[in-house]
A and B are shown apart, each in its own frame.
Chain A
Amino acid sequence: EAQLVESGGGLVKPGGSLRLSCEGSGFTFSTYSMNWVRQAPGKGLEWVSSISSSSTYIYHADSVKGRFTISRDNAKNSLYLQMNSLRAEDTAVYYCARGTMGTYDYWGQGTLVTVSS
């Protein structure tokens, strides 16, 4: 069965940077579009970024455009999210999720990012 494992979360000061990683296993990673979805404490889900299987198409939500960059390395079965200029409102659990067109069929356990001074 497909598995996704995120890492890289932690505490960072406002204006700082962080890079999240997600390693996939149990499926052919290179053939699937991948996504990052976040959930602020006590709040709902928010789509963050998507990347097609070969990185041809990359999309970001307006709330993170210009600050976050999604990327992948299919040779390493890995997905990344480079987060720069972090703000308090970026505090959330960040999930890696497989899927396309707004359908996410497998999710990782999530990694918590806390932006605070």
Chain B
Amino acid sequence: QSALTQPPSASGSPGQSVTISCTGTSSDVGGYNYVSWYQQHPGKVPKLLIYEVTKRPSGVPDRFSGSKSGNTASLTVSGLQAEDEADYYCSSYVGNNNRVFGGGTKLTVL
């Protein structure tokens, strides 16, 4: 199973919005509503931000939102803050009892 495709980097200034894409196929992202997003600061454990495409766990700010169109899922971070600088990973259920992550996107707050 190939990894989902994410841009290696993204950036934005404080207060701006940035969107990170996660592209798969009709066999993974496009075929199931089981896309999740994770934030990982350097040396830290990944943290769940979004699950089932659009749902936010309690405690995650509503500045983080998820969506999906066809085979591409997206994470939008609104009102960028310095602490949002981190690596972001998408994940999807694939079917055939597999799961897959994206390659990760390094978000820089300018």
A residues near B (Cβ < 8 Å) are 35, 37, 44-47, 50, 57, 59, 61-62, 95, 101-105, 107-110
Contact A44 B103 (CB under 8 A): yes
A1 to chain B, nearest CB (A): 11
Q: Choose one: B47, B52, B104; the contact of A45 (CB below 8 Å).
A: B104
A94 to chain B, nearest CB (A): 12
Residue of B nearest to A50 (CB): B99
Question: What band does the interface of chain B fall in when counting residues whose beta carbon is under 8 Å from A?
Answer: 20 to 34
Residues on B with beta carbons closer than 8 Å to the beta carbon of A110: 45
CA distance A26 to B35 in the complex (A): 26
B100 within 8 A of A: yes
Residues on B with beta carbons closer than 8 Å to the beta carbon of A50: 97, 99
Contact B92 A102 (CB under 8 A): yes
Residues on A with beta carbons closer than 8 Å to the beta carbon of B32: 101
25 sampled A-B residue pairs with Cβ under 8 A: A44-B101, A44-B102, A45-B38, A45-B40, A45-B101, A46-B101, A47-B91, A47-B101, A50-B99, A62-B98, A95-B45, A101-B99, A102-B36, A102-B92, A102-B99, A103-B34, A103-B51, A104-B38, A104-B48, A104-B91, A105-B48, A107-B47, A108-B45, A109-B45, A110-B45
Q: Choose one: B36, B92, B103; the contact of A104 (CB below 8 Å).
A: B36
A74 to chain B, nearest CB (A): 21
A85 to chain B, nearest CB (A): 21
Residues on A with beta carbons closer than 8 Å to the beta carbon of B46: 37, 45, 95, 104, 107
Residues on A with beta carbons closer than 8 Å to the beta carbon of B36: 102-104
CA distance A46 to B93 in the complex (A): 13
CA distance A47 to B3 in the complex (A): 10
Residues on B with beta carbons closer than 8 Å to the beta carbon of A46: 101
B89 within 8 A of A: yes
Residues on A with beta carbons closer than 8 Å to the beta carbon of B3: 44
Known: A44-B103, A45-B46, A95-B46. A101 touches B97 (CB 8 A): no
CA distance A45 to B90 in the complex (A): 10
